[in-house]
Homo-oligomer: A and B are copies of this chain.
Amino acid sequence: MTNNEWKYRVAYLGPEASFSYLATRELFPNEWNIAYRTIPECIDAVTNEVVDFAVVPLENAIEGSVPLTIDYLFHEADLYIVGEIKLKIQQHLMVNKAQKDNWEKIEGIYSHPHALAQCHKYLFYRFSHVPLHQTSSTAQAAKMVAENPDKCIAAIGNATSAEKYGLVIVEKNIHDFHFNHTRFVVLSKYNTRLPIENSDGQPKTMLMLTLPHDDAGALHRVLSVFAWRRLNLSKIESRPLKTGLGNYFFIIDVLADENEPMMKWAFEELNALGCTVKSLGTYYTYNASE
């Protein structure tokens, strides 16, 4: 997006050099991108109109959904998804320059729990006796390694964080599964759509759906509503309603525009079935180069 008159304010899950930062920089190279500490803080910043957009991770191909994003959108916020960014995730092992000859003897590895999980096998076979420490982001781990040149420790994260914090990458692409992408969503207070240049043109609509209580087979009827209209779902996921074990709401991605007649009829029928449906809006996907 370019705009000579006005820069949009875009919140992202920081710190600088996080994967959210890489995703944000791809879609918003010329806007005013602002790091926030947590996902709820990013979402609150849009809700309170401190920023125009927020970019937060939604789902990783290996680790699955980011529960905090989905739950906060469902329980606490009233926002729309106006775009999506798909980013390739590559995890590298990095150490302080002062330790670059000792890296095979590292005594601790720091990273975000998702990144540690994405490199589970590598860590198991290569460093099974080295303690793993969780940090709030991969960039935070890189920062910690940079600030402790005397300690023989390593971080796992992306190449940008190695560069920003002056670390040396000692093993590249240590994530266990090759097809490692993360979906980030762009949130706004208004139900608009970002124009996305390299999108495949496929509109997607995200729905959050609660089934009528204690109605066995209700999910089957919900899927019937979409199936007989040939409305394809690219995703269905259950999340706890937080009212007791076994009570869920569903996140459904439909490959269609919420304004299509078929979609409008589907919404009406879902309401008639006793479901509560909330559309987070229709959006397009940006395929980030990295």
Chain A residues close to B by CB (< 8 Å): 40, 59-64, 67-68, 86, 113, 117, 120, 124, 134-136, 176-177, 179, 181, 183, 216-217, 219-220, 223-224, 226-227, 230, 232-240, 242-248
Contacts and interface: CB of A to CB of B under 8 A. Distances in A.
A64 B67 contact: yes
Contact of A235 (B224, B232, B248): B248
A57 B242 CA distance: 17
* Secondary structure class of chain A's binding surface, majority of residues: mixed
Number of copies: 2
A245 B67 contact: no
Contacts of A60: 240
15 contacts: A62-B240, A63-B67, A64-B240, A68-B117, A86-B245, A113-B113, A113-B134, A179-B245, A183-B245, A217-B227, A219-B236, A220-B220, A220-B223, A220-B227, A223-B223
A227 B227 CA distance: 15
A243 B62 CA distance: 8
A244 B117 contact: no
B64 A179 contact: no
- Which 5 A-B pairs rank lowest in CB-CB distance, beginning with the nearest? A220-B223, A179-B244, A220-B227, A134-B134, A216-B232
Given A61-B240, A86-B245, 11 more contacts: A60-B240, A61-B245, A62-B242, A176-B242, A179-B243, A183-B245, A216-B230, A217-B223, A220-B224, A223-B223, A237-B238
Most B CB contacts (10 A, CB to CB) among A236, A245, A247 go to A245
Nearest to A70: B64
Nearest to A118: B242
A197 to B, nearest CB: 20
Contacts of A217: 223, 227, 232
Contacts of A176: 242
A245 B134 contact: no
Contacts of A244: 61, 179, 181
A125 B239 CA distance: 25
